[in-house]
Structure 1
Amino acid sequence: MQADGPAIVVDDLTKVFPIFKRPTDRLLQMLSMGRKRYYQTFVALNRVSMTIGRGETVGIVGRNGSGKSTLLQIIAGLLQPTGGQVSVSGRAAALLELGAGFNPEFSGRENIYLNASILGLSQAEIDARYDDIVAFSGLGEFIDRPVVTYSSGMYVRLAFSIAASVDPDILIVDEALAVGDEGFQRKCLARIEALKERGTTILFVSHAMGMITQLCDRAVLMDRGEVLVAGEPKLVASNYYRLTHAPADDRERVRAEILTAAAAEQDDQPEIRSGLDENLQSQSRVEYESLGARIVDPRIETVNGQRVNQLSRGRMYRVRYGVAVEQDCRQVRFATLFKTKTGVELAGRATHRLHDSMLDLEAGERLELTFDFPCSFLPGTYFINVGINGLVDGERKSLHRILDAVMFQVLPDADTSMVGLLDIGIIPSVDHHPATAQRPPAGE
C-alpha cells in the first residue's frame, strides 16, 4: 500500500562529473590521492528541486545535455547525487538506457524473469503475467532467442512490456519509446493512459512535444542542468521551441527571457517556501520529569538540515531531537505525535515495538532521533509531542515526555479544493452520462 504524501521529492539536487582529457589522467588522479587534480568538472545538475504528486504525469524536456537523463537516473537509483537528496515513495519501474538490466546472452524469456524479479515481482507473479508480456511485446518466436540478436526496436518492445506489467506505483521512461515503430508507440501510449487512470505516477523524457502536451499534467524545461520553467505543458513546449530553434548567437538572450518570465510568474504566487519564524513558539509546552533520559532540542528540519517551523504541503521534513542518557535504561522506545491546536491526534510513530529489538542504553550515552515525514497537513497550525519510554524496575514507564514541544504552521498554497486536516491523495473524477430519455410532451 502506498504511503501518503508526494511520490517523488527532489531537493536541491546537484551532480558533478569529472572529465579526464586522457586515460592516463584517470590513473594519475588515483595515484595522487587527491593532492592534485587531473580533471575538469562538468555540472550535469545544478541545485534542481521539484515535487511530483501521486498520480501526476510529468514530462521533462530540454536540449541534449541539459541534464534530463541524469535526473531520471538519480531518481531511479542508478546514479548517486553529488549534493542534495531524492525521496521516492512506492515501487518504481524504470525504462532508461536501451537494454539496461538485460543479460545479452540470455534469451528474451530468461530476461523477462531476470528483469521482472529486479523490479520486485515474485516467480509466481511473473508466471501469471508472462503470456501478457510476450503478447504485448509482439516478439513471438524471437522470445527464445538471445537478446544480443535483437534490434534496438525489439529491445524497447521487451523492456517496456516488462516495466508496464509490474503495476508500478511510479513509471520512469527516458526517450526509449522513440526507438519503437509507430504501431508499438501507439500501444505504449494506450498502456500509459491506462496506467494514468489507475493512479500511476509517470515521469518521462521526450523530445516529442505532441506526446508531452497530450499525456502530461505538467512539464519541466531544463537547460544546462537547471530548471528554466515548469508548469502547463503547452507553455513549456512553446518555450522549448523558442530555446531550441533560437540561433546560437541569440540563445543566451532567449534563455534569460525564459528565466525572467518564470521568476515573475513565481513572484505573483503566494510565498509557500519553508521558513523559520522566531516568534512562532509553543506557549502550551508541558515537560514531564526525567526518569533516566532527557530529550534535548526537539525541532523540525528540512532534508538538508535547515531548522524550520513554517512548512509547505507536499515537501519532506524531519522531526529531530537529541537524547541524553542519565542512567542505565532497558528496552527503550522513542516516539513522536502530531496534533492539531485543539488536541486532536493526527498521526504518530514509535521506534522498535518488539522487545528483542529495543535498545538498552548506558548512562552517558547520547543519541539523535530522526522521524522523516511528508507534509500532508492542510494549511493551519499544529503541534508535536515527543517522548521516551523504557523499563524502570521491570515496569514500562515514561522516561521523559514533552507535550506541545514544537509548534509549526503549514503555509497556504494555491490549491483551495481540499477540506479537512490532511491531504490523503483523494483524486476526484466525474463520469458524465448525458440524458437520453425524451421528455414527455407538454401537458402530459
Structure 2
Amino acid sequence: MSVLISVENLGKAFRSYPNARQRIKSWLGLPTHNVQDVWVLRHLNFEVYSGEAVGLIGENGAGKSTLLKMIAGTLAPTEGQIQLFGEVRAILELGMGFNGEFTGRENARHGLSMMGLSAEEAEALVPEVEAFAEVGEYFDRPLRTYSSGMQMRVTFAVATARRPQVLIVDEALAVGDAYFQHKSFEKIREMQQAGTTLLIVSHDRGAIQRICDRVILLENGQISREGEPEAIMDYYNAMLANKGNERHSVESEMREDGRVATTSGTGEAEITSVELRDADEGTPVEVATVGQTLELVVTVAIHEPVEELVIGYVIKDRLRQDVFGTNTHYLKAVRSDLKPGQTLNYRFRFPCHLGEGSYSFSVAAHADDTHVRQNYHWRDLACTFEVVNAQQDRFLGVAWLPPVLSIEQNHGDSQ
C-alpha cells in the first residue's frame, strides 16, 4: 500500500501573552517579554496508507482537532512537516467555508466549485447534494436560518458529493440526528469500500470499531499508543476510569490467541475467577448452543475495606462491540461495608439468546452504577466462548428473538 499521509516530528504551539500590549508588539515584529509557547502537540510521527481507515481518539484537549486542521491545511504547524499524496477533503466544522446569507443551494454550488469542479460539473451534482441532505424547502433558504443539524447535512452532502482520495471527519457528525448519523456512516463505509482513505475523530466506540483498521490514541499532546481498534478502545476506556487516582493502574497483555486483554483498577477488590457454566449441570462451557441456559460465575476477593461493591459484565461480539451488559446496581443487589478477607461468588443465570459466533465477557468490580468513579478491578476478555445453532430454526444476527408468526387473509380478498 502506498502512503497518502506522512506526519514527521509534527508539533503545534500557541503563544500565550501576558497582556494585550505584548500581543500587539508581537504583531508589529517588536521585541516582547514574558511570552510563552504552549505546546498542544509535539513529536508526532505516523503514516496513513491508501485505503486505510484510521481513528483518532483521546480526551478533550488532547489535540485531535488541531491535528486534523493541520493535515487539512487550515492550520500551520509550528514544527515538523506533513506530506499529502492525494486529494484531501475535510469535514471539520459546521458550514466551514459557507456563507450564512447564501441559500443551501448557492452554498452547495460554491462548495463544489471550491473542489475544482467546473460550473457545469458543480451544477450537475447539486441535485444529488439536495437529495442526500434532505432539508426540504430550506435548501433554498439562507444558511443562517438552519439548525446545526441541518447545516451538518448540507456540509456532509457537499463534501461527499464526489469521492475524494482522503476524507477527514471530525466530531462534527455528532450534531446530526440519529437517522442522518446512520446515513452518513453508511456513506463513509461505501466510500471506504470504494478505496477512500479515512482519518476520523469520534467518541462513538461502535463507529470507530466498525470503520477503522487502526486507532491512534493521543494523550498530553503525544501519541500514547496505536494498534487494532478493539485493544486501543479497551485501553482508553480503562484509562478514563479513576483518572487522577495514583493507585489506578492499566495493563495490557497479549493472549495466546493474539488478542490484547486489558485489566485495570485500584485493587481494593479483585476478580479472581470468571467462568461460564451450563446452568443445569454446572459444567464449564466453551461452546454454547442457541437457547441454552447459562450461568456466569464471578468470584471476588476483598483485600481492603470496601464501602460499596457493584459487579457487572458486558457480553461482546467478535469485534468487541457491546451486545448486552448489566450489573448488580441495576439488579438492586449492591453489597456494602465489606471487610478484607471476604470472598463472594456471584452467579448470573441467563438464556443464551445469541446468534452464532464468538463472544467474550468483560467483567468489572466497582462502586456506583458505572466503573468511572471507583474502579476496583476491570477485566476485558475475562472469559470467551462460541455459540452454535444446533436445534433452532436458522436466523441472522447476534440476537435470537424468535417470533410467533400468524398469517391472516382479509375477508374482502378474492379467493
Distance 1:136 1:80 in 2: 33
For 2:51 and 2:244, how far apart are their aligned partners in 1?
A: 38
- Return the offset for 1:149: 1.2
The alignment yields a C-alpha RMSD, in angstroms, of: 2.2
- Where structure 1 has 5 or more consecutive residues not aligned to the other structure, the ranges are 266-444
Establish whether residue 185 from structure 1 lines up as the match of residue 168 from structure 2.
no
Structure 1 residue 31 displacement after superposition: 5.1
1:182-226: per-residue Cα shift (whole Å, max 9, x none)? 000010011011101100001010111111111101111001110
State the distance in 2 between where 1:110 and 1:18 align: 38
| C-alpha separation in 1, matches of 2:144 and 2:91 | 18
1:254 Cα offset (Å): 5.0
Q: Which amino acid aligns with 1:19?
A: S
Q: How many residue pairs align between the two structures?
A: 255
- 1:98 Cα shift? 1.8
Hey, what's the Cα distance between the residues in 2 that align with 1:179 and 1:25? 38
Aligned with residue 59 of structure 1, among 55, 63, 66: 55
Q: Tell me how far apart the structure 2 counterparts of residues 254 and 164 of structure 1 sit (CA, whole Å).
A: 42
Amino acid in the other structure paired with 2:75: L
- Do the aligned partners of 1:92 and 1:119 also contact (CA within 8 Å) in 2? no
Rounded Cα–Cα distance in structure 2 between residues aligned with 1:139 and 1:174 = 22
Q: Does residue 1:74 correspond to 2:74, yes or no?
A: no
Distance, in Å, in 1 between the alignment partners of 2:83 and 2:224 is 22
Q: Which residue of 1 aligns with 2:406?
A: none
* Partner SS for 1:14: strand
Return closer, same or farther for 1:214/1:29 CA change in 2, 3 Å cut-off: same
- CA shift in 2, pair 1:21/1:246, >3 Å: farther
8 Å CA contact 1:13–1:85 kept in 2: the answer is yes
For 2:233, the aligned partner's letter is: A
- Report the CA distance shift for 1:132/1:31 in structure 2 as closer, same or farther (over 3 A): closer
Q: How does 1:401-420 map to 2 (within 5 A)?
A: none
1:215 maps to: 211
Shift of 1:247: 2.6
Secondary structure, counterpart of 1:250 in structure 2 = coil
| Match 1:94 to one of 83, 90, 96 | 90
Sort the Cα spacing of 1:119 and 1:250 in 2 relative to 1 into closer, same or farther, 3 A: farther
Q: Deviations over 1:154-196 (max 9, x none)?
A: 1110110011112111100011110000000010011011101
Superposition misfits of 4+ residues, deviation over 4 angstroms? none
Give, in angstroms, the shift of residue 21 of structure 1.
4.5
Point out where structure 2 has 5 or more consecutive residues left out of the alignment: 259-415
Choose the corresponding residue for 1:12, options 9, 13, 29. 9
* Helix, strand or coil at the partner of 1:189: helix
Give the letter aligned to residue 36 of structure 2.
Answer: Q
2:230 pairs, out of 231, 234, 244, with 234
1:1-40 aligned at under 5 Å gives the runs 5-30=2-27, 33=30, 35-40=31-36
Q: Structure 1 residues 112, 250: CA separation in 2 closer, same or farther (over 3 Å shift)?
A: farther
Cα distance in 1, alignment partners of residues 141 and 132 from structure 2: 17
1:120 maps to 2:116: yes
Secondary structure at the counterpart of residue 238 of structure 1: helix
Deviations 1:23-60 (A, max 9, x none): 34312434572x33343221111110111000101100
Q: Distance in 2 between matches of 1:130 and 1:212?
A: 30
Q: Secondary structure at the match of 2:160?
A: helix
3-state SS of 2:189 partner: helix
Measured against aligned partners, the alpha-carbon deviations of 1:61-93 in whole angstroms (never above 9, x if no partner) come to: 000110111110010000111111111111111
Give the alignment's TM-score, normalised by structure 1. 0.55
> What letter corresponds to residue 183 of structure 1 in structure 2?
Y
Q: Is the 8 A contact 2:12 2:39 kept in 1?
A: yes
1:14–1:47 Cα contact (<8 Å) kept: yes
Q: How far did residue 117 of structure 1 move? A: 1.5
SS of 2:3 mapped into structure 1: coil
